Amino acid sequence: MTSNTLFEPYALGAITLSNRIVMAPLTRNRAGEGFVPGDLNAEYYGQRASAGLIITEASQISQQGQGYQDTPGIYTQAQIDGWRKITAAVHEKGGRIVLQLWHVGRISHVDLQPNGGQPVAPSAIRAGTKTFVNNGFVDVSEPRALEIDELAGIVNDFRQAAANAIEAGFDGVEVHGANGYLLEQFAKDGANVRTDAYGGSVENRARLMLEVTAAVAKEIGAERTGIRISPVSPANGISCSDPQAQYDYIVDHLNALGIAYIHVVEGATGGPRDVAPFDYGSLRRRFSKTYIANNGYSLDLATSHLADGKADLIAFGRPFIANPDLVERLQTGAPLAEINPATLYGGGAAGYTDYPRFNDTAAN
């Protein structure tokens, strides 16, 4: 049996985790009518409650924040009540779970927006990518630039969503500041050519991400607040001319807020870890609380990075889809099951809650 710090308890802010394995956010497009999660979602998350921490799929803070069909929200009472089923299912099995808060910005389509309006962005620059809507992948719509007087409302939507998450029973929240969505669109100059207080300099481009995180931390407590960042990932057509300077600055200020953790996508999201030069050790040194490392981690890499002090927790994403008992498989050396790519997005129980545990497979 494998024995190392990956399987030891860990104190994360206000909560204690049973191990250092984190289930990363995974969009699965299975919310019900009104973008309400329900019993099927509760079964899915409950099956994976042996993770030290579950970070849920990204959940929009408003209708404007939605970019894909059938993703769950956290801005109506029905959605809050639906999520309460999920937190109860995880807590009943001794797990811990936080909700990822999402505004997709320009990664959306007019068919998902209020009154068929344009998606919003820091600048009117269309992303060269697709989104999943009307049961297929289509080009994202042309965005409009947000007016400066709209930004306080978006900050407030994040704050209210965080309060709603706590009402729904979550142990905390993760602000989604990664993967080419709204907060990262503001932070990176490939999507942000504004000339006001939210564009231009490193400080100005970081402003909205930091304002949102500060508002969330003030609402629910810094010890229950985390953020996900992806300094060099090109996900969703995003780019940045100065990622090291940008993210050193961002992490310095996140550290000053006293939040519980930063969740760092190292390299290209779901792709090469060495996609671009970047010193992640700089972020690690600048942040005094928990560093969650993410992207392409094997058991050996996770073990070595924990042993070397390069991270405190390790997030695994897609392996959790086909392996609800991923923690147990990693600990015992059992083989990992493979994903069925045809059932990743949308649908029902098939490819969602019907992946067996290893012991069940072995018994057959």
Just list the catalytic residues: 181
> Quick count: other Cβ atoms within 10 Å of Cβ 304?
12
Rounded to 5 degrees, what are φ and ψ at 234? Answer: -90, 15
Residue 122 identity (one-letter amino acid): P
Residue 304 identity (one-letter amino acid): S
CB-based burial label for 356 (10 Å; 0-12, 13-18, 19+): middle
Alpha-carbon distance of 159 to 236, in angstroms, equals 25
Angle formed at CA 216 by CA 114 and CA 232, multiple of 5 degrees: 80
Give kind and range of the element (H or E) at residue 274.
none
Where in 222-363 does DSSP place strands (E)? 225-229, 261-265, 290-294, 313-316
Burial per residue of 202-222, b for 16 or more beta-carbon CB atoms within 10 angstroms, e otherwise: bebbbbbbbbbbbbbbebbbb
Residue 232 identity (one-letter amino acid): V
Please check whether residue 108 is in contact with residue 63, taking contact to mean a CB–CB distance below 8 angstroms.
Answer: no
Please check whether residue 313 is in contact with residue 302, taking contact to mean a CB–CB distance below 8 angstroms.
Answer: no
Alpha-carbon distance of 230 to 69, in angstroms, equals 24
Alpha-carbon distance of 47 to 15, in angstroms, equals 20
Please check whether residue 60 is in contact with residue 102, taking contact to mean a CB–CB distance below 8 angstroms.
Answer: yes
